[in-house]
Structure 1
């Protein structure tokens, strides 16, 4: 699979905390939101990420695969 995904949460999470919770994702903090993006290896990895959002009580508002670029 290895698809690039974007996850949006409706709260601000510091980049340091986001990297600690999701080391495989890159955080971008914008006013009142945090966007995390990175590769998702397979379905098990995706479900693991979703479980971590739930464990950390982060309000996930959007999750979507990002378009791949053609060479």
Structure 2
């Protein structure tokens, strides 16, 4: 199942990752609060820094709707 992961980071920024597998979301979620949240996206290792919290939205977000 694919969807959108929404990550809130320690520096008050928000990262949106679209079209990711639920297993990637679970991997990020398991690292919430850690100094380095690291996962593999598109065959690259990505370090998001400190992430807390993280949310999941099944499927894609309709950005034209006004989120």
Q: TM-score, normalised by structure 1?
A: 0.43
Greater helix percent: which structure? 1
Which has the higher relative contact order, 1 or 2, with Cα contacts under 8 A spaced 6 or more apart?
1
Higher share in strand: 2
